[in-house]
Amino acid sequence: MKSINLTLIILVVLIMASCTVVGTLYRVISNRNEYIFKNEMIGKWAESLDSSSYYFEIDTLPHEEGKIYSFRNVETNIDSTIDTTSFLGYLFKLKDWYYLDCWYRMEEEIDDYLTVRHFIFRINFIETEKIELMTLIPEEIIKLIDEKKLKLSYARFPVRSKEVEYNYLILDKPDKLKKALAASEAFPKLYEEKSIYYRLKD
């Protein structure tokens, strides 16, 4: 059994326009009682222990009982300007694995006018200060859906990028998403894209 008492991290690699993206229209888990709080994930994380120019900050939102996490990607540019990207997310467990469901953090004045896509990651605890983040490989999940091995439906839409022609949006509601995600454990190739993150000391 895979165990984890720590989780994390957001995604920028998956959200980039230069790579194919699979998002979901709905959250995987609609029942907030299934959201999991892990105090250990609070802090700064990066792919290198000596990273000071690019890292993630993770905290919880106030008045959410620790169930909703805020993620802030911080990048210092060559000219010393700082770029930040914010996400929200929650942690949940299916069978032997923990997962993270994340979405862009929208400003209140535009939130009602945009469709927020959700992005799902599998997480594995390695050591106290190190975790493994596994990304769904877009080509693999679309192939499994087309072959009817995962019972999901999707739409595709063009991307303004020379490297990528389409991105994908899975349209199913939480119950079907949850069942399909649990079934995806039978297809390890879906999660072959992995990254290691380390806790940064203050």
pLDDT in tens, the chain (202 residues): 333 333 333 333 333 333 566 899 999 999 999 999 887 788 888 888 776 778 888 888 887 777 899 988 888 888 888 888 888 999 999 988 999 999 887 665 545 556 778 999 998 878 778 888 898 898 999 999 999 999 999 998 887 766 777 889 999 999 999 999 999 999 999 999 998 989 888 7
Would 171 be classed as within a structural domain? yes
- Residue 143's pLDDT is 95
- What is the per-residue pLDDT for 5? 34
CB atoms within 10 A of CB 27: 21
Range of the domain at 93: 12-200
Cα distance between residue 57 and residue 168, in whole Å: 28
Q: List Cβ neighbours of 145 (8 Å cut-off, separation of 6 or more).
A: 152, 153, 154
For residue 113, the model assigns a pLDDT of: 54
107 vs 105: CA distance, rounded Å: 7
3, part of any domain? no
CA distances from 144 to 110, 169, 181, 195 (A): 35, 15, 12, 23
**What is the tally of structural domains in the chain?**
1
DSSP 3-state of 188 = helix
**Residue 26 belongs to a domain:** yes
Cβ partners under 8 Å of residue 45, min gap 6: 8, 9, 55, 56, 58, 131, 197, 198, 199, 200
Q: Is residue 90 part of a domain?
A: yes
Q: In this structure, is residue 136 part of a structural domain?
A: yes
Q: Which two tokens stand for residue 3?
A: 């165990």
Does residue 6 belong to any structural domain of this protein?
A: no
pLDDT of residue 9: 35
Would residue 7 count as lying in a domain? no
What is the structure's pLDDT at 6? Answer: 34
Task: Identify whether 180 is part of a domain.
Answer: yes
